[in-house]
Amino acid sequence: MQMKIAHTLRNRVYVYFSRCNMSSFNYKSCIDVSPEVSKALRSHTPVVALESTIISHGMPYPQNLQTALQVEEIVRNEGAVPATVAIVKGRIKVGLNQEMLAEFASLKTPVVKTSRRDFPYVLSKGLNGGTTVAGTVIVSSAVGIKVFATGGLGGVHRGGEKTMDVSADLMELGRNPVAVVSSGVKSILDIERTLEYLETQGVCVVTFGENKNFPSFYTPRSGVEAPYNIESPVEAALLIEKLFELHLNSGILLAVPIPDAEAIEGNEIEKAISTAVKEAEDHGIKGKEVTPFVLNRVISLTGGRSLESNIALIKNNAKVGAQVALELAKRQMHSSKQLSSEDVFQSLHAASSERCAAKSSPRFDILVK
């Protein structure tokens, strides 16, 4: 029985202690967790992380602000706490209030699209940054958020076998235990090669719905089959729980198809994407500028319909993500009721010491602000 209690507690140590082998961030000086999010994490209230490149690079103003507020409201309506991650004047923020969201969405100064490589520069210069899926996964894992809802994952770009243009999202999902809820990968990417790369990174890819047909962002079916399929938030919560029990230190991609009513016909969107990709090549656009350029061109080429679909799928993913986080929190609370406070202290102390012993970097501290 004691062994079981210790095992259960060790699987929840992320809520109380940041992981010592995640990165070299000194979180006391770099990150501010809002009081609401901090309280939720301590009390096992479900929390859903949300990225900020959707706000800074994915949509024009004011649609970006409207969507961000609506998405947070959807998460709250499902009984979870939204935790939008962004960088404001060189500070990583986890949880933005409405005033901060409005200010961030309407910034006139450039906002840096921020992934792992960009954090040191953006923070050292006191810049504003929109965290990508990769950046948000890093921060989510460090502070103990297990579920992250977004629009679409980055991936292997078309022609990536020649250009080596592969999103850092895939690498980070392979080394951080976070469940990312998205409508697959963005349609502008090479879906088959992306799934191959995710397999190499050890990421568990699961479709959420009736079958294994992997979604293609604007359309619910890509014709490419995912390895696994689940049909309910309860199944998803159990899947995530097992991930943490195994200590695999890799993530899960929960691929949720866009609702049929909001989808765009496959041939139509493919034609627009191909045109936009060709234009990006002709203009010499490379690296992290490709995705924003192509998405904006697709909006123009589809007469704004792709933006409407983008907003719809983000809202749907937020709803599913919140439902999954709620079921996961229920499982955690059920286990917690069986443990004494002394058991908690002893096991958490042991688990923290075990994780930190072999590392020279200090324990991550989180500043509630």
> Quick one: pLDDT at residue 123?
97
* pLDDT category of residue 3 using cuts at 50, 70 and 90: low
Q: What is the mean pLDDT of residues 249-274?
A: 92
Task: Please provide the distance, in angstroms rounded to a whole number, between the alpha carbons at the two ends of the chain.
Answer: 39
Active-site residue set: 51, 186
Domains and CATH numbers, the chain: 29-332 (3.40.1790.10)
User: Which residue matches tokens 């999103």?
Assistant: 167
Per the CB < 8 A criterion, the answer to whether 145 and 177 are in contact is no
Of 58-62, 114-118, 361-365, which range is least confident?
Answer: 361-365
Main-chain phi, psi angles of 368, to 5 degrees: -85, 120
Per the CB < 8 A criterion, the answer to whether 222 and 257 are in contact is no
Q: What is the mean pLDDT of residues 112-116?
A: 96
Does pLDDT of 359 surpass 50?
Answer: no
pLDDT digits (tens, 9 = 90+) for 280-310: 889 988 877 887 888 889 989 999 998 999 9
Neighbouring C-beta atoms of residue 343, cutoff 10 Å: 15
> Quick one: pLDDT at residue 16?
41
Alpha-carbon distance 189 to 227, whole Å? Answer: 19
Does pLDDT of 256 surpass 70?
Answer: yes
The secondary structure of 249-293 as a DSSP string is ---EEEE-PPPGGG---HHHHHHHHHHHHHHHHHTT--GGGHHHH
pLDDT digits (tens, 9 = 90+) for 27-57: 667 999 999 999 999 999 999 999 999 999 8
pLDDT digits (tens, 9 = 90+) for 162-199: 778 888 999 999 999 999 999 998 777 899 999 999 99
- Given phi > 0 = left and psi -120 to 50 = alpha, else beta, which region is 303? left
